[in-house]
């Protein structure tokens, strides 16, 4: 009976880890269309897409959006320690100027 309970506990732990990994990979803090700003250099990015743990962004350069780049989730959702302040935060998107 002890071995049966141990197998159930291990199976539940493995399933919990798998579910956590899947949810963490396919959900992001920022959504497509959100603009985010780096708190250190004030550089603004617009989120185009999020897929498989990666954000696809374009940076604001002068008066328009630049080329699309890929950024890891761990970079865009990182925090500065020990204050635990997010390095990127949502902001208002800049508009095109003619």
Asked if residue 98 is part of any domain, the answer here is no
Burial string for 24-63 (b: 16+ CB within 10 Å, else e) reads: eeeebebeeebbbbeeeeeebbbbeebeeebbebbebeee
- Cα separation, 93 vs 9, in Å, equals 48
Asked if residue 97 is part of any domain, the answer here is no
Asked if residue 34 is part of any domain, the answer here is yes
Which pLDDT value is given to residue 20?
Answer: 83
Asked if residue 50 is part of any domain, the answer here is yes
* pLDDT for residue 98 is more than 80: no
- Which structural domain range is residue 80 located in? 2-91
Asked if residue 96 is part of any domain, the answer here is no
Q: What is the pLDDT of residues 64-86, one digit of tens each?
A: 899 999 999 889 989 888 888 88
Residues in the chain: 98
Q: What is the mean pLDDT of residues 20-48?
A: 87
Q: At 58, which CATH number?
A: 2.30.30
Residue 1: pLDDT band by 50, 70, 90 thresholds? Answer: low
Number of domains in the chain: 1
């Amino acid at each position: 009976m002890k071995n049966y309970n141990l197998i159930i506990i291990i199976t539940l732990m493995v399933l919990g880890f798998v579910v956590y990994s899947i949810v963490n990979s396919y959900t992001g803090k920022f959504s497509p269309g959100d603009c985010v700003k780096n708190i250190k250099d004030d550089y603004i990015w617009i989120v185009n897409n999020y897929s498989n743990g990666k954000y696809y962004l374009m940076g604001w350069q002068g008066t328009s959006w630049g080329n699309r780049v890929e950024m890891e989730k761990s970079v865009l959702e990182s925090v500065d320690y020990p204050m635990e302040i997010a390095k990127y935060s949502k902001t208002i998107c800049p508009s095109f100027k003619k």
